Amino acid sequence: MSQQDTPISTDELQAWVDHQTDADASARIATIVARDAVLAARASAWASQRNALHAAFDATLDEPIPQRLLDAARPPRPRWPLQLAAALACVALGGVLGYALPRPAATPAAGDPLAGLPRAAAIAHAVYVPEVRHPVEVGAEQQTHLVAWLSKRLGSPLTVPELGASGFMLVGGRLLPGSEGGAVAQFMYQNEAGQRLTLYVRHNAASPETAFRFAAEKDLSVFYWVDGGMGYALSAKLPREALLQIAELVYRQLQRGGAPG
């Protein structure tokens, strides 16, 4: 065939196949391709390739997006040094919690060893819950190791409650310094919506067992109690009633898990 019969370049042929030509050019190229079997075969093969690529990979578009990618798309929180963050959290929460913590009947008297529990738990919650990359030191996939390690450091056998019934799954845990020099364990849970709650566990040998007590700071709710010489505080940005149900779930399992036998 003569050059005159095929006055189009490979670039033009590609643009035509890729729908990147304007209407006039499309019409002209279509006419030429229609008369030329070689061009037609090539254009058809290229179009088939495109269809095959879509057939092979478009399913990815409909897959649920993995949680780790959703997390990665979340803007990072400002990364303060932890001590500064903790200090700021102290100022922010301490002031308000001091008032918001149950002043009425349930308020622990000054000097009550339970007094600092919800505040310390709320601060630890505020510091670690926003962490995207390192919310915990040991992840849930190493749960046996996590429990053994924290039990050893606290000097008491710990139980990690299973909260699947409430939609929260264990993320993992970390060791924290307690206010009186003792070790504290923090377990973190997360639900499918990415909401997190923490269970703060420390020794409270000096306190008698208590019923649930409730404290709140803005939208952060804290249920705390003492059982078997251990102080527990469950913190989450959940309504009081919703958190109470989870607290009961925790309490029942700790009783069972902690029972001698």
Which residues here bind another protein, judged by CB under 8 A? 1, 3, 6, 8-15, 18, 20, 38, 41, 45-46, 48-50, 52-58, 60-63, 65-66, 68-70, 72-76
User: Minimal distance in Å, beta carbon 64 to another protein?
Assistant: 10
Q: Do residues 6 and 16 touch, judged by C-beta distance below 8 A?
A: no
Smallest separation, CB 171 to another protein (Å): 17
User: What is the closest distance, in whole angstroms, from the C-beta atom of residue 29 to another protein in the complex?
Assistant: 12
Residues 249, 194, 84, 82, Cα dihedral to 10°: 80
Compute the least distance from the CB of residue 27 to another protein, in Å.
19
Please state whether beta strands 138-139 and 183-190 pair in parallel, antiparallel, or not at all (unpaired).
unpaired
Specify the residue, 75 or 111, whose C-beta has the smaller distance to another protein.
Answer: 75
Single-letter amino acid code for the residue at 129? V
Residue 62 or 219 having the CB closest to another protein: 62
Please, which residue, 36 or 162, has the CB nearer to another protein? 36
Closer by beta carbon to another protein, 6 or else 159: 6
State the Cα–Cα distance between residues 228 and 205, nearest whole angstrom: 8
Q: Closer to another protein at the Cβ: 38 or 206?
A: 38
Cβ contact 246:234 at 8 Å: yes
Closer of 17 and 246 to another protein (Cβ): 17
Exposed / middle / buried, residue 258 (Cβ in 10 Å: 0-12, 13-18, 19+) = middle
Integer Cα distance of 213 and 192 in angstroms = 27
Query: What angle is formed at CA 147 by the lines to CA 244 and CA 77, rounded to 5 degrees?
Result: 65
d(CA 137, CA 203): 20
Give the integer Cα–Cα distance in Å for 54 and 70.
Answer: 24
Q: Of 32 and 114, which has the nearer Cβ to another protein? A: 32
Minimum distance from CB of 43 to another protein (Å)? 10
Phi, psi of 194 (to 5 degrees): 85, 5
User: Strand 169-177 vs strand 213-217: parallel, antiparallel, or unpaired?
Assistant: unpaired
- Which of helix, strand or coil describes residue 17? helix
Shortest distance, CB of residue 17 to another protein, whole angstroms?
9
* Minimal distance, residue 8 CB to another protein, in Å: 7
